[in-house]
Structure 1
Amino acid sequence: MQDQTLPENIANRLRRDILRGKLVPGDSLKERDSAAELGVSRTPMREAIRIVAREGLITLRPARSPIVAVPDVKAVTDDVEVLLAVEKLSAELACARATVAEVDEIAAILKRMDDNFDTMDPLDMFEIDMSFHSAIAKASHNEPLAEIHGRFLARLWRSRFLAAMKRRNRASVIKHHTGILAALRKRDTVAIRKAISIHLDQLTEDIVQVIRDENELREQRNAKTANDLSA
């Protein structure tokens, strides 16, 4: 790890551990133990935790260790509504403002997804998928809008990844993204809104189901722990 990017590198490690389920909602993050495990000091570890907390993956608690955030159904569904609105608006603006080079870059991202979907690590593939959407937001040439998109993308990162794993269908994923790209190439705002709606139509339902499943598993785990302690 390079010193100048140490907190970001640690944050990426924490983020991936959370996404992969090594750290699950409700787990406590001991700053000292986590720093020792990675062979770093507590200062960059503390900053890394703050970075991931800003993304909504970790909850900070006064005078107590932070924990992996426990998703709230209402908060997450609200975030999905905002993300959907922002995705549609940024895509509309991209239809009018994206340069040829930007459209070609988005097409290259889709080709990389298509070429590697069956062989690449699912988390790496998901990150490429999200870069497709981020590139469209950037092509809107509206910096505040792109920043909002990035913020809500980060807030929904974990829930969206887990939901995507439950519906990991190569044909559907490539078809949806191809439809979005085709509308962008035609500069067709109506078509691109429709394509994004089709792509994200099941997102709220899928995420809510993921959260409910996790809550049930966590309750079962807590009940088992309580029983073991009382035995």
Structure 2
Amino acid sequence: MTVLRGAAKPARPSASLKPAQVAARIREMIIQDELPPGAPIRERVLAERLAVSRTPLREALKILSAEGLVELQPRRGAVVTAPGGDEVRELLQLLGVIEAYAGELACASATDEEIREVRALHYEMLAAYTRGDRLGYFHRNQDIHRAIVATTRNRTVIEHHRTLNARVYRVRYICNLRTERWESAIREHEKILAALERRDAQAIAAVLKEHVVRAWDVMQRMFAGEAVPPPDVG
């Protein structure tokens, strides 16, 4: 199996990258299928690709294992996690519940400045959409959700959201990549922002609870050959 696609020439190991930075680079490789689900992670090859030594690489793999993106198997090394469809949907449903609760809290706790920053991130996401930059769009989309959660100042909610979101990070990117849901997702974000600006806890919770799972359901219906209903424009 070819684990790394488009591998570059190996470079000298860098002592400057911390395990968290190495984990972030591997995470990006996973969401873009350079390390596909179920693929074994060859430490030597990956260390050369990232120009890091084995020590920070192994620490990075522990971080990704804690996030559920990588499985560390005794005597077999690390493997990219390949969750089944039912498990993914359950994770997304739970993530939607957490984000809905965070949205409710944010309506009470977010400052006006923080809400303006969320709006600014939305404009950056629109710019990526206009350029057709799916990866940039995805990152700004994620920034918006994390920013809303951060305004809760609830450490338990923030930590559980971070951990759970990491487990479905690749799935959320693939949903953006393989569906034409950009416009409907943007409309949903407009509703989220409008509710946050009104500090309407009930309205923001209703949108967020379904928002994160909708793209997955659309993609699953597409793969099953079912007709996908037009997006809600109300």
Same fold at TM > 0.5: yes
- CA separation in 1, counterparts of 2:127 and 2:61? 34
Aligned AA for 2:81? A
Whole-Å separation in 2 of the counterparts to 1:30 and 1:88: 39
Paired with 1:211 and 1:28, the residues of 2 have a C-alpha distance of: 26
Within a 5 Å distance, the mapping from 1:59-70 to structure 2 comes to 59-70=71-82
What's the CA shift string for 1:73-112, capped at 9, x where partnerless?
3332221121111011000011111111110111110011
Aligned to 1:49: 61
1:165 aligned onto 2:174: no
Three-state SS of the structure 1 residue aligned to 2:35 is: coil
Is 2:5 the counterpart of 1:6?
no
Q: Which deviates the most, 198-207 or 121-130?
A: 198-207
Partners in 2 of 1:20 and 1:69 — Cα distance?
Answer: 14
1:20 pairs with one of 32, 53, 64: 32
Gaps of 5+ in 1: 213-231
Q: Equivalent residue of 1:71, what SS?
A: coil
2: CA distance, partners of 1:11 / 1:178: 32
2:52 matched to which residue of 1?
Answer: 40
CA apart distance, 1:168: 3.6
- The answer on 1:133 being equivalent to 2:138 is no
Q: Which moved more, 1:141-150 or 1:67-76?
A: 67-76
**Given the alignment of the two structures, is residue 102 of structure 1 paired with residue 114 of structure 2, yes or no?**
yes
TM-score where L is the length of structure 1: 0.83
Does the 8 Å CA contact 1:159/1:207 hold for their aligned counterparts? no
Q: Percent identity?
A: 33
Deviations 1:115-173 (A, max 9, x none): 22132632222111011011111111211111111111111101111112222443222
- Note if 1:151 corresponds to 2:163: yes
Q: Tell me the equivalent position of 1:220.
A: none
Number of paired residues? 213
The 1-side partners of 2:201 and 2:87 are apart by: 29
Superposed, 1:72-111 pairs within 5 Å as 72-111=84-123
C-alpha contact (below 8 Å) 1:137/1:146 kept by paired residues = yes
| 1:176 is the counterpart of 2:188 | yes
Q: Report how far residue 62 of structure 1 moved.
A: 0.7
TM-score normalised over the length of structure 2 = 0.82
**Residue 73 to residue 170, structure 1, CA distance change in 2 (3 Å):** closer
> Gaps spanning 5+ residues in structure 2: where?
1-12, 225-234
Report the residue type matching 1:153 in the other structure.
N
